Amino acid sequence: MASPTTLPGLPPGAADPCVHCGFCLPTCASYRVLASEMDSPRGRIHALRAIEAGELELDATVASHFDTCLGCFACVTACPSGVRYDQLIEHTRPKLINAGQRSAWQTSFRQLLLQVLPYPNRLRALLQPLRAYTGTPLQALARHTGLTRLFGPEIEAMERLLPPLAAEAFSDQLPLINPAEGACRGRVTLLLGCVQRCFDPNVSTATVRVLQANGFEVVIPPDQGCCGAVSHHQGELELTRRLATDLVRSMNGIEGQLDAVLVAASGCGHTMKAYGELLTTEDTQFRAPVQDVQEFLAIHGLSEAFRARLKPLATTVAMHDACHMIHGQGIQAQPRQLLRAIPDLQLKEATEAGVCCGSAGIYNLVQYEEAAELGRIKADDLSSTGAELVASANIGCTMQLRRHLGDRADVLHPMELLAASAGLHPLPGVLKGSRIAKVAGEREDR
Ligand code: SF4
Ligand code: SF4
C-alpha cells in the first residue's frame, strides 16, 4: 500500500484523494482561458507532488502556474473525491512570495497594492485627485483613445475598473448606533470593508437600512479597518494576522450584546470565517459568529413589517454567484430567497454560475489578460439571460462585472435592491437614468 502523500508545509493527505479524473477541469477558470494542464487543479496537484518527491523545483516557471490560479475553489466543489485544493493553494501561496519567483516589477506592484488597498485613508488620499477625472468625458476619452495604455497594462487595468467616485466614498457616513425599527430582534455589527467603502459605499448604507427595518440594531465601530482578505488571498499571512487582530479588537470593543458580525462582501466573509485557523490565541476571536448578511437574514427571516413595505420592482435580475460565496461559504439559495420577496422581480439564471468572473482579489490587476478574458466570458453569460440587472454580493466581482458588462446591465448588491423596493435608500447615483432607477422611481411615485 502506498504511503500517504505529505507535501512540505501542506496539510497531510490533502492531495491524496486526487485520482487525476479531470472532473475539475471544466469548472477551472485558469484552465478555461489558458488551456494548459499546468494551469489546472490536476496539473498543480501533480506539480506539488513532484516538488515533494524532489523531482521538481518551485522555480519562477513553476510558480507562474500557481500565480495563474484564481483561488476560486470551483475545483473543490466539482471534485468527486473530496480533494481540498483550497488548503493546498492557501499553503502554497506564501512560498510564492520569495525573491526570484516573480519579476521585480510584479513584486513591487503587489507590495504597492498591499500597502494601499487595505487602508481606506491611504486609498482615499490617492483617489482624491481622481475625483475630477472619474465619470467625466475626460475618462471616457482617455479610455476611447487608449491613452491609459501608455502607463502600462497594470495601470490600464486599474483605470478600467475605476468607477465614478461619490462624495460618500471619502468619509464614513454611518453613525456608531443605528437603532432597530420596531421591536428589537437583535444587535449586530457590519464590516464596512476597505475597497467597498471607497468604491461602492451605497452597499453598506443600504444593508444597514434593511437590517434596521427588519428589527436589528446595527453598531458600526468607527475605527474598524480591513479584514485582511486581499493579503490573505496573496498568502501574506503576517499582514493578514495584523489586520485581522485589529478588526477583532475593534468589533469586540462594542459594548453590550452582539449577536453576529455581518459582512456584505463575500471575499471578506470568507477570510473572516477563517480567522479560527489564521488567529490562534483565544482572545483574538470574534465574540459573535461571522455571517454574510444574506445568510443572516435567511436564517432570521424578513420581518412581517418589512415584507409589508416591499413594493414591486418590475425588472429582471441575473444572480451572479461570487466564488467565495458559492464555493467558499456554500451560500447560493439565500440571496435568491431574499430577492424573490420583492414583488414583480424576476430572477434569471446564467448558464455557468459556478465559474469565476476573473476578479479574484487583485488577480484582475496582476493577471490582467486572463482576468479580462474571464470577465468577457462572464459578462456574455450573464447578459445572455436578457436580464436588465445583475445582482452581485461581492465588491470585487461588482467592479469587474461593471467593467465588462458596460451598459448591457446595471450591477447592484441584493441589499440595494431590497432597500430600493422597501423605499429605504435610493439607488446609487451612477444608476440614475437606468431602467432599474426608473422602475424604482415609478415605485416611489405610487
Ligand atoms: S482534484 Fe478531484 S476532480 Fe480534479 S483531477 Fe483530482 S480527483 Fe479529479
Ligand atoms: S481555485 Fe479556481 S482557478 Fe484555481 S485551480 Fe481551482 S478552479 Fe482552477
Ligand 2 pocket check for 363: Cβ under 6 Å: no
Whether residue 43 contacts residue 49, with contact meaning beta carbons closer than 8 Å, is answered with: no
Q: How would you class 146 by CB atoms within 10 Å of its CB: exposed for 0-12, middle for 13-18, buried for 19 or more?
A: exposed
pLDDT at 320: 97
Residues 253, 383 within the same domain: no
Among 298, 322, 348, the domain boundary falls at 298
Ligand 2 pocket check for 41: Cβ under 6 Å: yes
46 inside domain? yes
Whether residue 253 contacts residue 220, with contact meaning beta carbons closer than 8 Å, is answered with: no
pLDDT at 439: 47
pLDDT at 8: 46
Residues 294, 312 within the same domain: no
Residues 389, 340 within the same domain: yes
pLDDT at 11: 67
Q: Which atom of ligand 2 is nearest to the CA of 44?
A: 5
pLDDT at 430: 43
Separation of CA 382 and ligand 1 centre (Å): 27
Residues 83, 137 within the same domain: no
Say how far apart CA 178 and CA 410 lie, in whole Å.
Answer: 29
pLDDT at 143: 85
Ligand 2 pocket check for 30: Cβ under 6 Å: yes
Q: Which ligand is nearest to the CA of 86?
A: 2
Instruction: Band the pLDDT of 227: cuts 50, 70, 90.
Output: very high
Residues 292, 177 within the same domain: yes
20 inside domain? no
Nearest to 10 by CA among 18, 2, 19, 1: 18
Which residue has the CA at smallest separation from atom 8 of ligand 1? 21
Tell me the pLDDT tens digit for each residue of 92-110: 999 898 767 899 999 999 9
The average confidence (pLDDT) of the chain is 91
Q: Which ligand is nearest to the CA of 15?
A: 1
Tell me the pLDDT tens digit for each residue of 262-302: 999 999 999 999 999 899 876 689 999 999 999 999 999 99
Separation of CA 73 and ligand 2 centre (Å): 5
222 inside domain? yes
Tell me the pLDDT tens digit for each residue of 4-28: 333 445 666 678 899 999 999 999 9
Residues 202, 271 within the same domain: yes
Among 68, 96, 124, the domain boundary falls at 96
Residues 218, 291 within the same domain: yes
Q: Which atom of ligand 2 is nearest to the CA of 27?
A: 7
Q: Which residue has the cell 487525476?
A: 20
Supply the range of the domain harboring residue 157: 116-166
Helix (H, G, I), strand (E, B) or coil at 385: coil
Tell me the pLDDT tens digit for each residue of 158-202: 999 999 898 889 999 899 999 999 999 999 999 999 999 999 999
Separation of CA 30 and ligand 2 centre (Å): 6
Residues 317, 440 within the same domain: yes
108 inside domain? no
* Arithmetic mean of pLDDT, 110-129: 95
Structural domain count, the chain: 4
Nearest to 348 by CA among 310, 389, 397: 389
* Arithmetic mean of pLDDT, 413-430: 87
* Arithmetic mean of pLDDT, 409-432: 85
Q: Which ligand is nearest to the CA of 16?
A: 1
Substitution site in 30, 81, 84 for ligand 1 pocket (most atoms within 8 Å of beta carbon): 81
Residues 371, 430 within the same domain: yes
Tell me the pLDDT tens digit for each residue of 24-48: 999 999 999 999 999 999 999 999 9
Ligand 2 pocket check for 189: Cβ under 6 Å: no
Indicate whether 355 pLDDT > 60: yes
19 inside domain? no
For 27-39, give the secondary structure using H, E and C: HCHHHHHHCCHHH
Name all residues whose Cβ lies below 6 A of ligand 1.
Answer: 18-24, 41-42, 45, 75, 78-79, 81, 83
